[in-house]
Structure 1
Amino acid sequence: MREFIVEADGGSRGNPGPAGYGAVVLDGATGEPLTEAAEYIGVATNNVAEYRGLLAGLRAAHALDPSARVHVRMDSKLVVEQMSGRWKIKHPDMKPLATQARAVFPPDQVTYEWIPREQNKYADRLANEAMDAGAKGRQWSPSESRAALDTPPAVPEPSGPPGDAAAGAARARAALAQGRAADPAAGGRAAGAARAGEGDAPAVQEKPGVEQAPDGERRPAAPAEERRSTPGWSSAPDLGAPATFVLLRHGETPLTPQKRFSGSGGTDPALSEVGREQARRVAEALARRGTIQTVLASPLTRTRETAAVVAARLGLEVTIEDGLRETDFGAWEGLTFAEVRERYPDDLNAWLADPEAHPTGGGESFAETAARIAATRDKLVAAHAGRTVLLVTHVTPIKTFVRLALGAPPESLFRMELSAASLSAVAYYADGNASVRLLNDTSPLRP
């Protein structure tokens, strides 16, 4: 099933006043723009323009593939919360638009995410172009879009790649994989962004100088002191951009195709020629996204080599982080699973059944690895809040990051596929929620 990201916005110069909307449909696998829509709609409110943008974006996605899954990203908390079913819709101008929007795709194919305004620049630009065209007495046309299809939108930290190969390339996967439930406990971005529960929307400062009233209309913002003392008005917490970890497994080594244990306890192979080519392809994909801000790598040779290729392409330095090293597999290093089964059957069975069990020869247990990764995660989240960081590491650490983010049991490690040079991603929000955005993406390796 194809996956699309719809980013939409709308605006009104006067509220109500001359209004327009803009929407773009992005490929969920690559983050590339597929089609745009924009229109000057005459005199309307901001909210109506935003709903018109949403409707246009959904219809454009439906025209591309009616069976696709769609992840909608908007900077209007009102629209996101109402379309997610958490806030009621009372305004008569918005009810029919919401009904039409819900009818474009089956409900289980669409999810919604609130993003800060600065992360919705592509759709905002289209909406302003539509209003500019209206001011000149004509309608917007794609030729006015300043070569938007040739200049991909800045991929924001999600919600992201998104925004990056993880946050940008798979924003649809991000929420579709685990964010279908918009409950705060699910760790979804929209839920984390606004915890208003049922009922009408509280006042939310969505755009500079404008407040959201309970009836859905916007009005000039009152001074901060007045807003704080006005009964019945509150602000949803703005959690800010998350710390997003793009998790890259190193490229192939000579041991990888043979499926041999290759940890940190003795074997330290370099990349094979295949692995170096994989690193180059991933580097190009990440460069196209343009959102990686920092590169950290495990101290082992294969991860340092992979990180060096990527960082050179991105124009960044590599910082070594010891906590990202692979598990120590003790006496099993360099052996295949079958060889371990033959030589150490009891130890292997215990290891498979008990996360506290150690590989033969005093290696590292999965419980010890998890404790190390959790400590590393906490340190890096604190150090890189709001940033997108590439972590070049190994199978067990990446699976552990994902397992901990999902709150999954230790045995889930054996139920994840993780290919060489694959990309995964986890976002960590200020309220403690984590969102798994991508797992085992190998699309950059395809010709």
Structure 2
Amino acid sequence: MHVQMFCDGGSRGNPGVAGSGSVVYGPDGETLAEVAYVVGKKSSNNVAEYYGLIRGLEAAAELGATRVDVSMDSKLVVEQMTGRWKIKHPDMQKLAREARDLAKQFEKVTYAWVPRAKNKKADELSNVAMDAAAEDGTPRILEASTPSRRNSASDLATSAGASSAEEKAEFSRGKGTHQTASPSHWAGQDAPRTRFVLLRHGQTAHSAERRYSGTSDPELTEVGQAQARRAATTLATMGKVDVIVTSPQRRARQTAAACAEALGVPEDAIEVVEDFRELDFGAFEGLTRQEAQERDPDAFGAWEASASEKPPSGESLAQLHRRVTRARLMVQKAHEGKTVLVVTHMTPIKSVIRQALGTGAETFRHIFLDLASVSVVEFYGDFGVVRTFNDVAHHRQPAS
């Protein structure tokens, strides 16, 4: 099997907390494996980049690949692995030998430099690993990011039509209906399905006035409370919810409480996950878009133009995406195979949808979510599927 592998690594401090990311793509561009690896508390960028290469080659070997085309935005590692540049540092010499030993098991391995903009997913994974390294620098592969092993040479024959027992039963019950099969069937996935029902909170005074509302903590208006109740009533008809998770902010917690009542879940059983909070808009908090533009046109323009830029004293979309990815992985690990209702905000929901789609930061600009809207995303290991997006049917008034 001929695969493409993108890898990256980084260090905050150089040397500092370090992590690497690797992504392996199949012959048709499908994602076969994603690996986020914690390098340690005090390593350099180049060491982390080598670990991205090593962990990626390991994942490719585990998948049964015979040829690997490696792409990296590290000119140094690419030139050293091709033999065009000498390796002087002892740490790098050791890592290069390890990478070359791994490469020997394939029929062919090629190395190519790519600009950073074309290595976004590996960069994203390395940042997830660096976030984990800041908390615990023990070198390790983050569990939720290990290879899915789907479509590997050894299990293509057995897993192509596999799905969980629950999904098989659902399909059996649904014969003759709109169902054709589960996403796991068509994707050749046998990992358990973890379903995320994503509910945006109801209206607040800020949302009614179209103001940026991130760190501030407005409560639901009367309209927002009614929206939350309608959404909750609809959710109660959509099937079993095993867990309710909420952002710590009041508007989300109030919406989650309405859902708990409708679903018959004790309110004290709701899990609060800090990293599902809304984006920190910094100096633009509480302003309308026009007011923010007028207050600081240069900063506003830079922020709108790039996911890596942040408002003054605020948070970038890239930073939010990393923490929400971390939160989703944590919840998925804790409740694998369950249905989880996540009550949160516009931007975190966009992040989870982006994770399921496997797309870049431009996704944030091209999707929109209404107040108290419902979206449904499923993850089978690291493979994501969007099932429902921005459903607001429960807010439509019946015809008179």
Scaled by the length of structure 1, what TM-score is found? 0.49
Give every structure 1 segment of 4 or more consecutive aligned residues whose post-TM-superposition deviation is greater than 6 Å. none
Asked whether 1:391 is paired with 2:363, we answer no
Q: What are structure 1's unaligned runs of at least 5 residues? A: 1-85, 88-112, 128-152, 154-169, 176-187, 195-237
Partner of 1:285: 234
Deviations 1:253-312 (A, max 9, x none): 111122110002xx2110011110111111111111232111010000100000001011
In 2, Cα distance between equivalents of 1:422 and 1:415:
17
In 2, Cα distance between equivalents of 1:436 and 1:365:
24
In 2, Cα distance between equivalents of 1:121 and 1:434:
21
Partner of 2:205: 254
Asked whether 1:268 is paired with 2:217, we answer yes
User: What are the residue-to-residue correspondences of 1:221-370 with 2, within 5 Å?
Assistant: 238-239=190-191, 241-264=192-215, 267-316=216-265, 317-360=269-312, 362-370=313-321
The alpha-carbon distance between structure 1 residues 283 and 193, as it changes in their structure 2 partners (threshold 3 A), is: same
Partner of 1:427: 378
In 1, Cα distance between equivalents of 2:393 and 2:179:
14
Scaled by the length of structure 2, what TM-score is found? 0.54
In 1, Cα distance between equivalents of 2:201 and 2:325:
20
Tell which deviates more after alignment, 406-415 or 247-256.
Answer: 406-415
Amino acid at match of 1:313: A
The alpha-carbon distance between structure 1 residues 122 and 374, as it changes in their structure 2 partners (threshold 3 A), is: closer
| Aligned with 2:365 (options 403, 411, 414) | 414
The alpha-carbon distance between structure 1 residues 275 and 123, as it changes in their structure 2 partners (threshold 3 A), is: same
In 1, Cα distance between equivalents of 2:227 and 2:376:
18
In 2, Cα distance between equivalents of 1:387 and 1:308:
20
| Contact 2:243/2:340 (<8 A) preserved | yes
What secondary structure is seen at the aligned counterpart in 1 of 2:377?
A: strand
What secondary structure is seen at the aligned counterpart in 2 of 1:326?
A: coil
User: What are the residue-to-residue correspondences of 1:55-66 with 2, within 5 Å?
Assistant: none
In 2, Cα distance between equivalents of 1:320 and 1:276:
20
Deviations 1:205-253 (A, max 9, x none): xxxxxxxxxxxxxxxxxxxxxxxxxxxxxxxxx32x3111111000011
| Contact 2:171/2:179 (<8 A) preserved | no
In 1, Cα distance between equivalents of 2:309 and 2:166:
48
Partner of 1:380: 331
Amino acid at match of 2:359: A
Asked whether 1:189 is paired with 2:184, we answer yes
Offset at 1:189?
2.2
Amino acid at match of 1:440: N
Offset at 1:446?
2.2
In 2, Cα distance between equivalents of 1:351 and 1:284:
38
Higher CA-based Rg: 1
Aligned residues: 236
Kindly report the root-mean-square deviation, in angstroms, between the aligned alpha carbons of the 2 structures.
2.8
Amino acid at match of 1:272: T
